[in-house]
Amino acid sequence: MSESNARGLALHWRILIGLAVGAIAGLVCKQWLGDHPGLKWFSENIANTVGQVFLRLIFMVVIPLVFCALTLGVAEIGDVRKLGRLGLMTFLMTLLFSGASVVIGLGLANTLKPGTSLSDESRERLKEQFTSDADDKIKKAGSSKGIIATLLEIIPRNPLQEAVGALDGSSPGSGLLGVMFFSLCMGVALTTIGDKAKPVLAVLEGFYEAIMAIIRTAMSLAPYGVAGLVFYATTLLGFDIIRLLAGYVVAVILGLSIHMFVVYSIAIWVIAKRNPLTFFRDILEVLVTAFGTSSSSATLPTSIRVVDENLKLNRKISHFVLTIGSTANQNGTALYEGITVLFLAQVFGVELSLSQQIIVVLLSMLAGIGTAGVPGGSLPLVVLVLQSVGVPPEGIAIIMGVDRLLDMSRTTVNVCGDVAVAVCVDAIEGKRMESHSDAITAS
């Protein structure tokens, strides 16, 4: 019996119910009691505390999750010296799609400004009560460094020091970006030392599974945490929070739609010389599976089967690209993270400079490699991007209630991107590999 059947309702339905209960109860209490001291006490000491327990469990695993996921993600690719043109082309196509997705996300967030609909009074109340150190973090965000200094600090002098100070803003360098850089270097290094890397990888894999167990436990508390956090937010802001979330959801869905139906279509048409309409029709089963499961990993078997049967790609290419892409090519998630960070920065009144927006781009792209291919797997990574640019990470509670719908949508874009990369790489490398194979057979 599955976990969802054993409990009667799947987790995402329970989170949605928690959202509805918290929002309705908060709005009714706000309308009925106004700023009554009793309501304020209950909201701050009971509802918010329940939500903070859930958030702290997520925050607790961010650093170890980033290190393990990124190191393993790179190491699992295999010996980078043996990947050759196929690995390089896959990397370049992934980089192209991920870069385009984040640019679209930041462009929409800067154009639509979904986080600016709050009144000045509501914003001040949110900054004052939602997180006690919001003002300090906003001041730190304002004192941004130049682009060259920012890029140089990506290489950490002491990765342990960066990790220790990453979540409280006390790291001397780039914080979590430095941790991510070190993790990528460690992953590459492990691919070069052969069998000596196996014990290290085994430890990291076990540690990663333990971290995921903690995240699963935290997510089981999500319905109650979301109810408490939404109740707290609605008693603070009333109907302002509903308008705020509506604008945010529209911005994310619009960005994902543009990336999927415009960027992917252009790539399929220009690079792969295929009809985009035929492409989307052929992979419809993959898209439906991704939307329903919210998991790139769970959709992988369907993706491989559909690509083999419908798109008729070179299996060596498609299987390699799809397997790597299920963990490393999360460009829908990168777009979502870009919009989310700028949205929450606008909510808290944090002005992000050009160099800080570049950090958001880099972190969102790198976070795709470290994002677990399971429902809700991107939430810890959103926390690290928020912290890196001085936005209070507790602000993630604002978007928790609508995350399930957006999770389903961005997973669909992620999986579609995996297939699109496979099609493009096959168009570029497929004939060369076939001719090379024929030449070897003939000789």
Question: What is the span of the domain harbouring residue 252?
Answer: 8-442
141 located within any domain? yes
Whether the CB-CB separation of 226 and 234 falls below 8 Å is answered with: no
Whether the CB-CB separation of 244 and 398 falls below 8 Å is answered with: yes
314 located within any domain? yes
379 located within any domain? yes
Taking residue 37's Cβ as centre, other Cβ atoms within 10 Å add up to 8
Most confident of 76-85, 198-207, 381-390, 399-408: 198-207
If pLDDT is split at 50, 70 and 90, which confidence band does 219 have?
A: confident
Residue 423: the pLDDT is 93
2 located within any domain? no
Name the amino acid, one letter, at 312: K
1 located within any domain? no
Q: Higher model confidence: residue 278 or residue 99?
A: 278
Whether the CB-CB separation of 207 and 64 falls below 8 Å is answered with: yes
Is the pLDDT confidence value at 356 over 50?
yes
Q: Higher model confidence: residue 138 or residue 230?
A: 230
User: Residues near 91 by Cβ (< 8 Å), separated by ≥ 6?
Assistant: none
**Among 88-97, 285-294, 325-334, 367-376, where is mean pLDDT lowest?**
367-376
**DSSP string spanning 224-290?**
HHHHHHHHHHHHHHTTHHHHHHHHHHHHHHHHHHHIIIIIHHHHHHHTS---HHHHHHHTHHHHHHH
Give 9's DSSP letter.
S
31 located within any domain? yes
Question: What length does the chain have?
Answer: 443
What is the domain count for the chain?
1
Is the pLDDT confidence value at 376 over 60?
no
- Quote the CA–CA distance of 37 and 81 in Å, as a whole number: 65
- Token reading at 389: 């640019």
**Among 119-123, 301-305, 395-399, where is mean pLDDT lowest?**
119-123
Handedness of CA 408, 339, 254, 304 (dihedral sign): negative
pTM greater than 0.75: no
**DSSP string spanning 42-72?**
HIIIIIHHHHHHHHHHHHHTHHHHHHHHHHH
**DSSP string spanning 346-408?**
HHTTPPP-HHHHHHHHHHHHHHHHHS-SSTTTTHHHHHHHHHHTT--GGGGGGGGGGHHHHHH
Is the pLDDT confidence value at 355 over 80?
no
Q: Give the closest residue to 325 by CA, choosing from 317, 335, 337.
A: 317
- Quote the CA–CA distance of 231 and 194 in Å, as a whole number: 53
3 located within any domain? no
Q: Higher model confidence: residue 311 or residue 299?
A: 311
Give 303's DSSP letter.
H
Whether the CB-CB separation of 36 and 247 falls below 8 Å is answered with: no
If pLDDT is split at 50, 70 and 90, which confidence band does 274 have?
A: very high
Is the pLDDT confidence value at 77 over 80?
no
**Among 78-87, 256-265, 298-307, where is mean pLDDT lowest?**
78-87
Handedness of CA 116, 117, 121, 126 (dihedral sign): negative
Q: Higher model confidence: residue 311 or residue 143?
A: 311
358: CATH: 1.10.3860
CA–CA distances in Å: residue 367 to residues 71, 241, 282, 305, 334: 12, 28, 29, 28, 7
CA distance between the termini of the chain? 55
Tens of pLDDT along 417-441? 999 999 998 888 766 655 554 444 4
Tokens 């109740």 map to which residue?
231
